[in-house]
Amino acid sequence: MKLRNIEINNKIGEEVTLFGWVNSRRDMGKIAFIDLRDRSGIVQVVLVPSELNEESQAIIKDIRPEFVLEITGVVNERGEKQKNPNIPIGNVELLAKSVKILSQSETPPFEIDNEDRQAGEELRLKYRYLDLRHERMTRNMQFRSDAMLFIRNYLHEQNFIEMHTPILSKSTPEGARDYLVPSRKFPGKFFALPQSPQQYKQMLMVAGMERYFQIAPCFRDEDARADRSPGEFYQVDMEMSFVSQDDIMELAEDMFTKLVKTLLPEKELTFDKWPRITYAEAMEKYGSDKPDLRKDKNNPNELAFCWIVDFPLFTEQTEDDYFHGAGDKWAPSHHMFTAPREEDIPLLDTDPGKVRGLQHDMVLNGVEAGGGSIRIHSPELQEKIFNLIGFTEEDKKEFEHMLTAFKYGVPPHGGIAPGFDRLVSLLMGESSIREVIAFPLTSDARDLMVEAPSIVSDEQLNAVGIEIKKT
Ligand code: ASP
């Protein structure tokens, strides 16, 4: 097994073999220094010709940045003046005995060792495998992985079961456009990629799973916004049976507080107990349902979480709403499965605009980090909501499986789905969520590395019964 660079910190005096990329090289007369990078950190390698075997001496002059090397040498403590406590491998260096070039590199299209002179985003995404070599990007990917593991462990300890729901699925009403996948077996019919596992997770509650979670890929064909990635993103999708709204908020609050305290001890939480603010109060006091409650907005380490509750169940429909039917007035504020507050149910018949929903939004530093709700679990109430948002009998048929399932003993249930990429980017202090996704799409939804979307062959189109319209 390869020794990780960082592991030489406690191997002073030993001979070791390291593998990695040339981050940079410096020539000082006869002696050369190579900064050898692997995922764990950068080691300073000292190349003194008299210490090297003959073959190695001959190739030293050829070595350039991003070559992949195998270096055997002795770990030495650095002189007191050369020690650098600010880097992970700052007290030791490797005196090379033999150097082997495992692969060569052309000059990269941008500098890897210089974060300050970062290339434009298009170039970075085209050569993402090089961009990810940057220390900052590697750190972001490592934190993403650590956060994922923390969440998994936490939820497993709380008796959640981790399950996968289908990717080839059916249109889900989260309010965006679907990505469609044509069916070959049933020409003219389509799968939709899930905008979220909403309906499946509710079905898992009917199935008696009681506590489910999944770090779930979600697909939404919508235009990019600063805090959204077009195309696909991940949610920490959770659903629980026999819970109150308080239970859901307490669980999420405890999990993310512990995550921050464990993984990012340098961060400062503005509130130990996250404030719960009603939608009405937030709008009146802050003019926003995503208030930024940081005490010092210039402090990069401050994290101000809060909850927003008591949203109106409906908003007035606009032309852009996914739900509109002729002359329909109401669109769900969250989604159509959110339960109204018990005491507001009578208002559904008289003044639907006044009904408050059991929705909870998790807000961090002025950004919506996730939303959820207590769900409707009565088929009659669900049908009433369908009617209010203008569903025809045909529309309702699309959700018949839910209305049917609800007839067979459905537990009261609810959940939440914090946006995983979004939280990771906020916690890492990144302004764009693309900085914490390994291979994100561009803001206009293209993958520049593999060049997707792409044209497919006539044969493939024929197989799924599709003809492209000539424009
Ligand atoms: N499915 C919802 C969403 O994607 C989250 C939830 O209600 O649990 O926003």
Q: pLDDT digit string (tens) for 350-363? A: 999 999 999 999 99
Residue nearest to atom 9 of ligand 1 (CA): 371
Average pLDDT over residues 45-72: 96
Tell how far the Cα of 447 is from the centroid of ligand 1, in angstroms: 26
Which residues does ligand 1 sit against, CB inside 6 Å?
174, 196, 198, 371-373, 415-417
Q: Which residue has the tokens 């939280």?
A: 423
Q: How would residue 114 be classed by pLDDT, with cut points 50, 70 and 90?
A: confident
pLDDT at 155 over 90: yes
- Ligand 1 atom closest to the CA of 197, numbered from 1: 1
Considering the chain, what is the average pLDDT of its residues?
93
Taking residues 111-118, what's their average pLDDT?
79
Number of alpha helices (DSSP H) and beta strands (DSSP E) in the chain: 13, 19
pLDDT exceeds 60 at position 226: no
At residue 222, the pLDDT reads 83
Please work out, in degrees rounded to the nearest 5, the angle formed at the alpha carbon of residue 357 by the alpha carbons of 308 and 369: 35
381-406 mean pLDDT: 90
97 pLDDT above the threshold of 70: yes
Query: How long, in residues, is the chain?
Result: 471
Task: Map residue 369 onto helix, strand or coil.
Answer: strand
Give distance in angstroms: CA of 39 to centre of ligand 1: 35
Judge residue 152's burial from the number of C-beta atoms within 10 Å of its C-beta, 0-12 exposed, 13-18 middle, 19 or more buried: middle
Q: Decide if pLDDT at 75 tops 70.
A: yes
What are all long-range contacts of 109-112, with beta carbons under 8 Å and residues at least 24 apart?
112/21, 112/23, 112/65, 112/66
416 CA closest ligand 1 atom index: 8
Residue nearest to atom 6 of ligand 1 (CA): 372
Least confident segment among 14-28, 105-119, 412-426: 105-119
Supply the pLDDT for residue 225: 64
User: Is the predicted pLDDT of residue 147 greater than 90, yes or no?
Assistant: yes
Distance 215 CA to ligand 1 centre (A): 13
pLDDT value at position 351? 93
Q: Does the pLDDT value for residue 162 go beyond 70?
A: yes
Atom 7 (ligand 1) nearest CA: 372
Q: How far is CA 122 from the centre of its chain?
A: 20
Give the mutation target among 160, 218, 245, 335 for probing the ligand 1 site: most ligand atoms within 8 A of CB: 335
Percent of the chain at pLDDT > 90 equals 85
For 196-278, where are the E strands, in sequence order? 211-220, 231-241, 268-269, 276-278
Reported as a pLDDT band with limits 50, 70 and 90, residue 217 is very high
Each residue's pLDDT tens digit, 116-142: 667 899 999 999 999 999 999 999 999
Residue 320: the pLDDT is: 65
Kindly give, in sequence order, each residue whose CB lies less than 8 Å from that of residue 341, ignoring residues fewer than 6 positions away.
310, 355, 356, 357, 358
- Note the maximum CA span of the chain: 91
Residue 443: pLDDT band by 50, 70, 90 thresholds? confident
Model pLDDT, residue 326 = 46
Residue 230 pLDDT: 78
Beta bridge mates, 279: none
Residues 6+ apart with CB under 8 A from 142: 39
226: tokens are: 């600063």
Ligand 1: atom nearest CA of 237 is 8
Long-range contacts of 77-82 (CB under 8 A, 24+ apart): 77/12, 78/44
101-104 LR contacts (CB < 8 Å, sep 24+) = 101/59, 101/62, 101/63, 101/67, 101/68, 101/69, 102/19, 102/68, 102/69, 102/70, 103/67, 103/68, 104/64, 104/67
Tell me what the mean pLDDT of segment 399-404 comes to: 91
- Distance (Å) from CA 293 to ligand 1 centroid: 24
Question: What residue ranges in 221-313 does DSSP mark as E strands?
Answer: 231-241, 268-269, 276-278, 302-303, 305-309
311-340 per-position pLDDT tens digit: 999 988 776 665 555 456 788 888 899 999
